[in-house]
Structure 1
């Protein structure tokens, strides 16, 4: 899906200029005078959607009763059945396109869901915050007529295999340290814009979403006996920037887009409601094999510190060849802000940092630029508490409710991890089989072709290019 216009927008007819969006923007991308409609600076914007989450200004009743409302819903990519308020700040949606594709019998429809979706989707149907519903989610997606229900958590496990191996190689050689994670597209876009000279410090791994997308149209296509060109690959994400990520030119495999379209948690809820599915009373159903099998480590990617914790669980055993004594690594868990720690991997003291919220990354970047950074590995997530607080998650107007929701979602993610029989990525049997039958080894020729990418400076790009707008 290549976008012809920006993803994050502010409606000038609705915006009152309260500048709450400017206060929450981590990269100062909101421009405007107080009391007047605001605009998004295309070059600075990282498409994180936090402005969408915090906006409380919505269309008046007089507007909602006329054709103007219908036109605005159409422009925003919403289904006619949507009844939620129209807020000034919003993200452009793709639900109508997905609905059309689901009705096309010539397409083989595949969907994947991010770790944070299963702990937030239920809120859209009146269930308590943090309710864990992976089984109901899989069932709803089958009712929507997807042919295969896969899981981004599987891609998270693959990411640990690739990224963990890459990290150990860099630590042992002392080259390009510290290594930053590359899972968060908002962080990647910010690095390309604000610190392009440091891009060699990012892991070359694609995000779990894009890894699953690449595997769906190669490994998965072979498993299912399907022509990759007929596969329509959908990703359900808590993140508005994932729509930007899937449109990047680099994100294709053998001439095909890895992920054709991304919808958010809120948009999936819209699809389910539009289809008249009784989500609350759905019996649980499983994800499809093999790209739907995951470990507890894969599930914790949805919270801040989760990538770091999953990597250490596997990294410890790769380095020491011993079983890690404790799987609950509290020293990397936490909330918004910057956290640092030292992880003992046998004789190796791995110095790590976790950044939750892009506004906290500037000091880290300064240290790396000056060559004074003491860290080996740095996780950066653009949103305040990781993906559970993403711009595409269920919207809550009160700050107290948002904090309550984030905590409930995080607790649910950790509970899901603790209940998994397999809690380390390298012990996931589907991952073991993937490497044995298809990829070969981490960082090998096949995995490098499918699962790794390059990043590039956005300093000299036009504003439209920086925001991911296709130009003629």
Structure 2
């Protein structure tokens, strides 16, 4: 299994011991005395990057040209052209690998972008918070020399087809309930570490990112007439844990990594600036077909409650064979914390819960362990307001600005959903064609092999209980 030790770090030379990172860590993985450099319990860390978002200790600007500063940038995997401060808490970047790959003519370079990227990337170029820029983003990626611009939103639609069908099967058979979502890798790592006895309650679905990765090197490769061995698959994510996810041993198809590398929103912005691309004045361009076509339901995965809302839109119609009365499910939408609801789906009263912020999941896990959990379906997102507040998103130092950004990004996501002609995953023509031409049916033999996985216990043994604490 992959080691997350090098992904989230605290630079002991820069850390002031303010412990703001410890206060925001949802799993108490940051250790240390006030006023002294902090360390990370790598085993407990879920790589969510909230410590990276909140850290305000940084190297003085006067040091920006010295050899130590240059060495630190290289050590952190940053481009030499980056001008932002070196903060004590940081995530190790992969953008140098991507820049090298983009210059390699032998590689067929494919990229996918998560739903939350298009509502946050523009902030890195001085545009108002929440500015929606899917067209400029696709345009910039083409100018960076990607051969195909696909979309994780397409994978979100596939996830709904698979996960929705899985949920219906479990509810009708009353087996392995409640069912938890499995698209957040930080939540999955937490479940594997802290509650492995409950892993059967997680959906077996891979995340939308990994689904797109698997389809790129099978379905997409066949359509394009490209050897999967020559495909270099890049994912742009708002999440620092996605690099950990793509490196998991099981995330491969026919001997190839499904996703070769992940970069964050901030790293994409750095790559665009490094290439001298004028992002603000780019024309709007489309994503490539077919793995770039998505529904409104796919786009709302970027906010807390979005997976649940998308699943209900499709699940309702699959069960009742009737149109859902309303596509805007306000009772699902909200902010940090736990939200619960009962949804009437035909004769079934579906009881659901949405957990926004990993620190809130403990109570529900205890109920599941005790056999008293009343819910059928539970969405868990590690970050406080879903992916729009991910650890790889544009960094804002003031709490008030962060809250403003989260709200603006969420509003933009919902606006994007509302603008789509197709707003339900099962009505996406590209999804219908995918199943007709390649997958067959949800939960069928092909989709089971490509799009589903199993999770494994990471519970710490006594002999390893003190061996995973690191400092930079």
Quickly say closer, same or farther: Cα 1:193–1:465, change in 2 above 3 A.
farther
Q: Is residue 19 of structure 2 the alignment partner of residue 19 of structure 1?
A: yes
Structure-2 change in CA distance of 1:463 and 1:90 (3 Å): farther
Within a 5 Å distance, the mapping from 1:22-421 to structure 2 comes to: 22-421=22-421
The corresponding residue for 2:437 is 437
TM-score by length of 2: 0.97
Paired residues, what number? Answer: 467
Deviation at 1:460, TM superposition (A): 3.8
1:464 and 1:390 map into 2 onto residues whose CA distance is: 29
Q: Distance in 2 between matches of 1:309 and 1:190?
A: 24
Cα distance between partner residues in 1 of 2:395 and 2:52: 8
Helix, strand or coil at the partner of 1:236: strand
Change beyond 3 A, Cα 1:463–1:158: farther
Q: 1:437 to 1:463 in 2, by over 3 A?
A: farther
- Unaligned 5+ runs, structure 2: none
Between the aligned partners of 1:2 and 1:187, the Cα distance in structure 2 is 16
1:465 offset after TM fit, Å?
Answer: 11
The secondary structure found in structure 2 opposite 1:183 is: coil
Deviations 1:375-415 (A, max 9, x none): 00000000000000000000000000000000000000000
- Offset at 1:6? 1.6
Q: Is the 1:458–1:466 Cα contact (8 Å) retained in structure 2?
A: no
State the Cα distance separating 1:65 from its structure 2 match.
Answer: 3.2
Instruction: Provide, for residues 93-127 of structure 1, a one-character-per-residue CA deviation record: whole Å limited to 9, x for no partner.
Output: 01111000000000000000000000000000000
The answer as to whether partners of 2:5 and 2:42 remain within 8 angstroms in 1 is no
Per the alignment, in what secondary structure is the counterpart of residue 331 of structure 2?
helix
Length-normalised TM-score, structure 1: 0.97
Distance (Å, rounded) in 2 between the aligned partners of 1:466 and 1:458: 13
Asked if the contact 1:182–1:188 (Cα under 8 Å) also holds between the matched residues in 2, the reply is: yes
Listed as ranges, the gaps of 5+ residues in structure 1 are 468-472
Measured in 2, the distance between the counterparts of 1:42 and 1:145 equals 36
* CA deviation profile, 1:306-327 (whole Å, cap 9, x unmatched): 0000000000000000000100
Q: Find the aligned partners of 1:44 and 1:129 in 2 and give their Cα distance.
A: 33
Q: C-alpha deviations, 1:228-284, integer Å up to 9, x for none?
A: 000000000000000100000010001100000000000000000000000000000
Between 1:455-464 and 1:164-173, the stretch displaced more is 455-464
C-alpha change, 1:221 and 1:323, in structure 2 (3 Å) is: same
SS in 2 for 1:210: helix
CA distance in 2, matches of 1:138, 1:331: 33
Divergent runs of 4+, >3 A: 1-5, 460-467
Counterpart for residue 470 of structure 1? none
Structure 2 distance, partners of 1:118, 1:65, is 33
Determine if contact 2:140/2:272 at 8 Å carries over to the other structure.
yes
Indicate conservation of the 8 Å contact 2:41/2:468, yes or no: no
CA distance in 1, matches of 2:252, 2:237: 19
The Cα of 1:60 is off from its aligned counterpart by 1.4
Classify the secondary structure of the residue corresponding to 2:267. Answer: helix
